[in-house]
Structure 1
Amino acid sequence: MHRALCMLALTVSAPALVAAAGDSSSDTSTSTVITTMVYSLIMAGVFSILFLVLRPKFDNIYQPRSYLSRPATRNVEPLSHSMMGWIKEFISLPDTEILRRNGLDAYMFISYLNMALWIIVPIWILSWIVLLPLYAANLASPKAGFNMFTIGNVITASKRTDQDRSAGILILNYIFIAWILVNIHMRMKQFIRLRQEFLTSPEYRNTVQAKSILVTGVPNELLSETKMTQLYGQLPGGVEKVWINRNMRDLPKLVEQRDKLVLKQEAAVTKLIKAAYKLVKKGKVEAADVDPNGEPSVDVAERYVPTKKRPTMRLGKIPCVGQKVDTIEYCRSEIPRLNQEIESMRQRAMTDYDAFPPQSSAFVLFRNQLSAQMAASTEACHSPYRMSERYTEAHPKDVIWSNLNMNPYEKKIRNVAFWVVTWLTVVFWFIPVAVVSIFSQVDYLTTKVPFLSWIEKIPNVPLGIIKGILPVAALAILNMLLPIWLRFLAKQSGIPTRNGVELSLMTRFSIFQLLQNFLVLAILQASMNNVSAFAKTLTPPNASAFVSQISNALPRANTFFLQWVFVAGMGAAPGMFLQIVPLIVYYVKMKLLGSTPRTVWHLKNDMGAPAWGTLFPSTLLIMVIVFGYMILAPVVNGFAAVSIFLLYIAYRYLFLFVFDCKPQTETAGLFFPHAINWTFAGLYLGTLLVALTYFFNSGSNTSYIAFGVLTIVLLAVILAYHLFLMNSYGPLLQSVPLDLTMQYQGDAQNEKSAYDNSNQLVSGNGYPSRPEPLQQQQPNSTLLPEKDAYYINDVGATSHSQSHIVQMNDQYAQHGGSKRGQQQTNDDYLNSFYNPARTSKQLTLWYPNDRLGIGRSEVAQDQRAGYSSTTQHAGLTEKGAVDEDATFAPGEEP
């Protein structure tokens, strides 16, 4: 999303210099590419200068992970605030620091970009040394621009020298493929080792998700804790606890309604305080002295704000319709009622299995990781589809609870139905993609299609924008909108975890990248370049001539992809460094949405995170373009090498200093093998295109047919190696080898349940907590009413202390225990896989501590109503804006 937004911002702001694209005196496609390059370079320079100037001033935008990580041991050392001094410090950080601070998924994405560099750079150098002169030599007619460096300049001739040159192309293709396969093998081997180390580390193997499985499609006769314990208790080690998923009826809606009212009351009280301050400031009300250590009277707000100006809301689901009520009074009466109703339903749910019946899924916690692995690979039921889907490594916060109530037949039907919808979307997405292609080739259409000749009358500047900038911007917008729809389809298919949805989204989106954003676009680009030639093959119909025209034109359709690759790297990477969109959004939200201490806290403390289901496919598109054109039009190789390098640097910075990958999103690198599979898909497509180019342009020349056959043999070699690789490493992706579990067993005491000792606190997911390293503590500002204590000093983006930087234990960090260093009670551990509607607590309401005493007065009234609220660590600045200095928002402590 970051890259798509940067590309969109870059392309929609085209300046007048794109007018050069309208010059038809030379190769217009090449002119358009050069124009896009020049514009991208100018904007990259502007973005880079802005980044260098703004970076030292806004730590919360450019290096929030230097002080905002929780726990503080996950912070990274902050970079220097000098304009250029930080570069050396950034370069000196190894990639493994990402593994230690942000997990294996983040590290493997950076590793994939690193692999791409190792693949592309040698191919770039060798192809430019060998292929460019080979393609450009002995041309029958002079050609301008990038089209002089395409394979069609060689294989369309029948001279002996051209056949020799084609043989050189074939040999180089074999060399390239061999180099690609070697690099893939090395990275896959490294990944398997890292994943196994991660899963078998002491910090991880004692977590609740490492020792548990999610089973769906459980038959009714086994839907009880006793039966499931007996069933899986046969495995070595036995079962520690079973959670049966239950139909919670209206309980989730009641909890959701209560939580919304809590936020509404926080906003209403804050609005009331601000209204009082405005009236005092305007002199309409005189401020009264309030005892800072006493409890203000309950009617203090009435002294400053008349009833008609108090915050109100309308009841009902339709906006602006329904009874108008006082927001604070309504929430104060409804929250206790909902709390009582929620608690009553929870008590009933503990014993009333008729009103809250079990549903067809369960979580089973074993006493050790090995038992969980065995259970996941063992068929548990003799009936078809029953208990056939078993999920390991499910984090409690990763579960999609609404997808756990499907019977296996319903889930199969939904999965098929929504995949059908996905493929229909693939087919019909051809229409907007075709429109994008038409825009990029509008100059060819004006000369070949008579009724479009009016386009030539458009002035150079708008015509240049239409040809050079609009297509890339349109494709960026399409790529931003499509994942939203595909993620919805994946979720509706019944996948029970959000990580599973992202993996499914990656597959669906990669299909689009391969078929629509590459293959269809390439064919459309080739077609637009040869409209008149294609028309002759259609009247009368001549299928072989048409295919030959397509294959001959395909290499010359590289100019659009040159633009795309260059903008994706040179254009987007500096924008990713600048973080212009997050920077603007942050200050807009702080100004417009920072209405309560809680919203301000989240704006200041929440960090961004990647959406893996879209991030990998977006990068894969560049690899597909490289594999498709590394032989057909090797000019692309150089553009791609530069772009991949810039993206590698940009994402490396983001994962080190900006992104925060939460434990619940960690899959221990499962996106990487999916990326490898789609890399092979790009290889298949690129190799097939080369073979078809030989076949369809051979005519009566048998040499070219032989070259095509040898290329098909190369394709078979790639397929065989792909099958070998997945057959070798595939079984190791979903299970932990027995020899490793034995190697890391250690003392049996280490494998005991975290709640065996009632006095032992456990960390986030059930393993004994480590002592926190000593830290320099920032003095807590209690906002007590001393001097100007009703105010918090106006603060900038760097107001948080940066002294919480400690060196994390290497082994502990590398193997990534979930919710590192955080602690929770035994009850939280035992409640890990209950539906959150059964266990979630009401948030403590949080108001600003104001000098008029309104906030503390509302706190007292809340306590009388039966629920808690606070004004600690929150107040108003001297300018009347809400601010806070809390470590955690009340009620959201880990």
Structure 2
Amino acid sequence: MDVLRSTEANVLLPRASAQQQGSHRQQGSSISSLLWTLVPVILGATVIFLAFLVLRKKLIRVYAPRTYLQVLNKHEQTPRQSSGWFGFAAEYRRLNDDYVLGHSSLDNYLFLRLFKILVTISFVGCLITWPILFPVNATGGGGESGLDILSFSNVNNANRYYAHCFAAWIFLAFVMFMISRESLFYAYLRQAYLMSPYSTSLMSSKTVLFTDVPEEYRDEHRLRQGFQDVRHIWLAHDPSSLEDMVEDRDDAADKLETGELKLIKGYIKQRSKKGDNADWVEEGRQNSHAAGIHIEQKERPTHRTKPIIGKKVDTINWARGELKHLIPKVAQEQAVQRGGKAEKISAVFIEFTTVRAAQSAFQQIAHQTPYRLTAKDVGMKPDMVLWKNIGKPWWLVKLLAGGFSAVIVLACLFWTIPVAFIGVLTNVDYLTNKLPWLSFIDSIPQTVLGLITGLLPVLLLAILMKLVPIFCQLFAKQFEPTLGAVQLRTQSWYFGFEVIQVFLITTFSSGAASVATQIVQQPTQAPLLLAKNLPKASNFYISYFILFGLMTAAMQLLNIVPLLFALVLGKILDKTPRKMYNRYVSLSGIGWGTFYPKYTNLGVIALSYSCIAPLVLGFATVGFGILYLAFRYNVLFTLGTQVDTKGRAYAKALQQLTVGIYLSEVCMIGLFAIGTSGNTAGVGPLILMIIFTIGTVIWHFQLRSAMSKHTIALPNDLLAEEYDSPSHREPDPARGLSDRESDGVAKKEQSSPYDSPYQTASSEEPPEPPKGIVGKIKAFLFPSKFASAAVISKHILSPHLSQTVRPYSDQERDEAYMHPAVLAETPAIWLARDKFGLSQQEVAATREALGRDVIVTDEGVSFDDKGKLHWDEQDVRKAPLWDGKVDY
């Protein structure tokens, strides 16, 4: 969407005639596009924000679940909000971002930090480029008008290129410093976080996943000979047959619950039609203990065993029969798996006695043959493992990775066609002068055309791009060993896709459309015409920043998906207590592989246009700032963490920002090179820019070389000073457990903080973070001194992280890295109580059919007179499905 287009050709080029200049709309059409993009977006965002203020007071589960949800430990909960219209503002202002680090997760904290970095880069870019380039561009004599006079396209004199060159040197050097500083800060923060007593006491911190294990090494004795300081070994087995049986058992249990609830609900409605009085109620009570309530066969729920062609059966009787057959069969197969008699696959989990031993094993070459006994990951929790992939051979993994990467590349070519069309839409009014069949565009009202060339392309692009990450994640899940690795792979693929499609293709198609007529008339001038109009294509992204900054922030606050489930979809889809419970206790999280590329790409766009159209930086500053504020609310009050990457997604995003530096330099070199044709004054800036680009390559290589291992491993100097604390000693079973002990749930032990609870590379006392403006500048410029792991450990990390998790029981340790199918218990059958006693009758009948070992209950949920379910959400721990998770 162009903010402004010039009606005059560049003075270096022959001017077009009046007829060639196209429709009357070309004058100021881009201003119309900007206004008609800005107005509806501001109005829409305002309405959404007002809706958020109203709904927040009524729907606490949607807008502040972290303040009270019992599935969270006390230290994970956020302080409650007051009930006023802006009741959240006090806690929102009081809590700083460091609170997220100790009470949520490292990934959530770093995601917020990315927006702060982007705001800082964009704002400093405005301070650097605007005073230098706005006067130079505005007086450039290029014949542009409107806001285009502020871009490189208005510069006619090549001598002025020096201003752009040195502005780029200063600004891009600052960006490189920011990326270097943040990479170093991330390394220190990761070290401090992962070496805290809380993290090091987790079983996962000392566990390494090895794949492609040779058959002779699939033996615990042989593995203990090959590795030192081994504490526990889990040999992976092939549970494919067991998985199918568990799935069939759980499906039968789900059908039984659904059928029973449908039966009870139908009976309630039938009684309501006949009239409900005391006699009916008394009869129901008597029947529940005597002959029972009789339900006609035609009124009992039925289903087909196979779609369309399957036999029609009584759902309840069929499900009871299936469960009676499958429950002992599953238990028998689980016993075989637990006994280690099943077929072993080429994967093993090894827990070491210390973090140092685990890190040493992770970094060493374990086998003489390449791709054998490969350490795939360290520190992954059991629920992050993709069990179907860990047994795949290395050659198949590489084949799948290469094949799917090729598919993504081909998808870029496929998506080019619709994305290019969207780019053309932003300049469709420029095509009417040479394509008579588009003359009807001239009759479209100005306001409507503003929407077509302004808002519509952005919306179409957003919808089209929604499909891409879905395919990326689906592909990555076919070969990556953990969910964290899936997110990182998705992030790499999707970022490349975003840069090519959302940025490059749209930019060049937009620029080409605006000069299509002149290119047809003067084909040899095509490079020059495109170069002069390329800066104008930045206007598309001014609208893009507005849309993303306002609408995305507003929609994030509105929390649209949980809101729809709370108001509409939940009432339609959640027909059983189980579904209601699962929905209620689940916290949504951010998909790192999907979210990071969107906003990293916006950073790339801002960097790319920083010196040829510096106005973009102003809109980027505002856009990123609004996004930060919105995501900050959600991270504090609504979001959990579904996938743990230990901050590696943030480190990858920092590296991806360098693409913006390179694109900016390549753009400047291209524009300078074209400007030197017929004018040697541009040779100097061209050479200087090439030298700076070479320096950028050297810097980038050195940064990647220095930081590559720090994103996946811990440094030996920290590990060497592993202290003697409860997190590094054998657990004492006599020590007291936390408030979750009665539920058999692992929880952080409430031990007192240590005086020096974190490992540091030096015994010296870490310095206090400097205060005041001068102090903050010093801390910013010297992160290795004022933001080291020791400083972060003492002054930034939450006191909670100085406490260890409680000791694991023998059973918890034995089951930690077993396949979920081996541990899957028979689901509890949870019905809803009715006042007629039918639910109690069905509970008794199901218990008789399945045996007393299966939990069958109708407690905690009840039907009202209209057949609607009501569940007491005040104490979820009393629900029969409550099963607190062990903190591995």
Match of 2:451 in 1: 465
Contact 2:609/2:664, CA 8 A, preserved across alignment: yes
Residue correspondence of structure 1 range 569-588 to structure 2 within 5 A: 569-588=549-568
**Is the contact between residue 433 and residue 517 of structure 1 (CA under 8 Å) also seen in structure 2?**
yes
Counterpart check, 1:112 vs 2:114 = yes
- The answer to whether residue 272 in structure 2 is matched with residue 281 in structure 1 is yes
The percent identity for this pair of structures is: 26
| C-alpha deviation, 1:50, in angstroms | 1.9
Aligned match for 2:337, one of 323, 329, 349: 349
Aligned to 1:751: 728
Q: 1:124/1:671 Cα in 2 relative to 1: closer, same or farther (>3 Å)? A: same
The reply to whether residue 502 of structure 1 matches residue 502 of structure 2 is no
> For the Cα contact (< 8 Å) 2:193–2:797, is it kept in 1?
no
Query: Does the aligned pair in 1 maintain the 2:487–2:591 contact within 8 Å?
Result: yes
Please say if residues 205 and 379 of structure 2, whose CA atoms lie closer than 8 Å, have aligned partners that are also in contact.
yes
* Match in the other structure for 1:86: 88
1:868 aligns with 2:855: yes
Query: Which position in structure 2 is the counterpart of 1:13?
Result: none
- In the TM superposition, what whole-angstrom CA distance separates every residue of 1:367-400 from its partner, at most 9, and x where no partner exists? 1111111111111111121123421111100111
Q: CA 1:401–1:830 in structure 2 vs 1: closer, same or farther (change >3 Å)? A: same
Q: 2:315 is matched with which residue: 327, 332, 335?
A: 327
C-alpha displacement at 1:534, in angstroms?
A: 2.0
Pick the aligned partner of 2:498 from 502, 509, 513. 513
Contact 2:75 2:800 in 1 (8 A): no
Amino acid of the residue matched to residue 279 of structure 1?
A: Q
Shift of 1:504: 0.3
1:240 offset after TM fit, Å? 1.4
Q: In 2, Cα distance between the equivalents of 1:581 and 1:206? A: 36
Q: With the length of structure 2 as denominator, give the TM-score of the two structures.
A: 0.86
Counterpart of 1:314 in structure 2 is 304
- SS of the aligned residue for 1:446 comes to coil
Q: In the aligned structure 2, how far is the partner of 1:276 from the partner of 1:521? A: 60
Tell me, in whole angstroms, the C-alpha distance in 1 between the residues paired with 2:89 and 2:865: 38
Q: How does 1:567-646 map to 2 (within 5 A)?
A: 567-646=547-626
Q: What is the DSSP-based 3-state SS (H/G/I as helix, E as strand, rest coil) of the residue aligned with 1:401?
A: coil
CA distance in 2, matches of 1:389, 1:613: 23
Q: 1:365 aligns with which of 351, 356, 379?
A: 351
1:415 to 390, 401, 414: 401
Q: Deviations over 1:302-357 (max 9, x none)?
A: 2xx422122111102xx33311111111111111211111112223334574xx32
Matching residue of 2:391: 405
The offset of 1:457, in angstroms, is 4.1
Measure the CA separation in 2 of the matches of 1:114 and 1:24: 40
- State the partner residue of 1:699: 677
For the residues of structure 1 that align with 2:671 and 2:876, how far apart are their CA atoms?
63
Using the TM superposition, give the Cα deviation of residue 548 of structure 1 relative to its aligned residue in structure 2, in angstroms.
2.3
CA distance in 1, matches of 2:388, 2:838: 41
Larger mean Cα displacement after TM superposition, 446-455 or 711-720: 446-455
- The SS at the match of 2:25 is coil
The letter of the residue matching 1:252 is E
Sort the Cα spacing of 1:555 and 1:617 in 2 relative to 1 into closer, same or farther, 3 A.
same
Q: Which 5+ residue runs of structure 2 have no aligned equivalent?
A: 1-22, 753-794
Note if 1:122 corresponds to 2:124.
Answer: yes
By how many angstroms is 1:192 displaced?
1.4
Q: Distance in 2 between matches of 1:85 and 1:251?
A: 51
Query: Which residue of 2 is the match for residue 482 of structure 1?
Result: 468
1:566 Cα deviation from its structure 2 partner:
0.8
Post-superposition Cα deviations, 1:730-780, rounded to whole Å, max 9, x if no partner, equal: 222221222222434214x6424558779989999998841499xxxxxxx
2:177 corresponds to which of 170, 182, 188: 182
TM alignment of 1:709-724, pairs within 5 A: 709-724=687-702
Does the Cα contact within 8 Å between 1:198 and 1:814 map onto a contact in 2? Answer: no
What are the residue-to-residue correspondences of 1:430-441 with 2, within 5 Å? 430-441=416-427
The residue identity in structure 1 corresponding to 2:269 is K
Distance verdict in 2 for CA 1:731–1:348, change over 3 Å: closer
Offset of residue 135 of structure 1: 1.0
1:70 and 1:858 map into 2 onto residues whose CA distance is 34
Q: Which residue number in structure 2 is paired with residue 782 of structure 1? A: none
Q: What do the CA deviations read for 1:439-486 (whole angstroms, capped 9, x no partner)?
A: 222111222333333343445565443322221111111221110011
Give the residue type in structure 1 aligned to 2:114.
Y
Deviation by residue 1:511-536 (Cα, 9 ceiling, x = unmatched): 01112211111111110111022223
Structure 1: unaligned runs, 5 residues or longer: 1-21, 774-808
Contact 2:488 2:649 survives alignment (8 Å): yes
Cα 1:189–1:51, aligned 2, differ >3 Å: closer, same or farther? same
Task: State the one-letter code of the partner of 1:137.
Answer: T
Task: Work out whether residues 586 and 603 of structure 1, in 8 Å CA contact, stay in contact via their aligned partners in 2.
Answer: no
User: 1:28 matched to which residue of 2?
Assistant: 29
Aligned-partner SS, 1:403: coil
Counterpart-to-counterpart distance in 1, 2:859 and 2:806: 22
Task: Indicate conservation of the 8 Å contact 2:746/2:808, yes or no.
Answer: no
Amino acid at match of 2:832: P
Structure 1 residue 48 and structure 2 residue 49: aligned?
yes
CA distance in 2, matches of 1:756, 1:427: 60
Name the CA shift for 1:849/1:442 in 2 (closer, same or farther; >3 Å): same
- Alpha-carbon distance in structure 2 between the residues aligned to 1:659 and 1:500: 21
Partner of 1:382: 368
Matches within 5 A, 1:59-208: 59-68=60-69, 69-141=71-143, 143-154=144-155, 157-158=156-157, 163=159, 165-208=160-203
Q: Secondary structure at the match of 2:231?
A: strand
Q: 2:423 & 2:820 partners in 1: Cα distance?
A: 48
What code does the residue aligned with 2:482 have?
T
Q: Is the 8 A contact 1:103 1:814 kept in 2?
A: no
Cα contact 1:600–1:883 (8 A) shared by 2: no
Which residue in 1 is equivalent to 2:655? 677
Cα separation, 2, equivalents of 1:101 and 1:769: 13
Cα deviation digits, residues 219-269 of structure 1 (max 9, x gap): 11112222222222xx2xx21121111112311011111112222222222
* Aligned counterpart in structure 1 of residue 880 of structure 2, from 859, 866, 890: 890
Task: Give the distance between the partners of 1:520 and 1:843, measured in 2 at CA.
Answer: 52
Q: Which moved more, 1:366-375 or 1:649-658?
A: 366-375
Distance (whole Å) between structure 2 residues aligned to residue 426 and residue 438 of structure 1? 18
The letter for the 2-side match of 1:626 is A
Contact persistence 1:298–1:861 (CA under 8 A): no
Structure 1 residues 686-738: Cα deviation after superposition (integer angstroms, max 9, x where no partner): 12111111111221322312212211222222222222222223222221222
Deviation at 1:292, TM superposition (A): 11
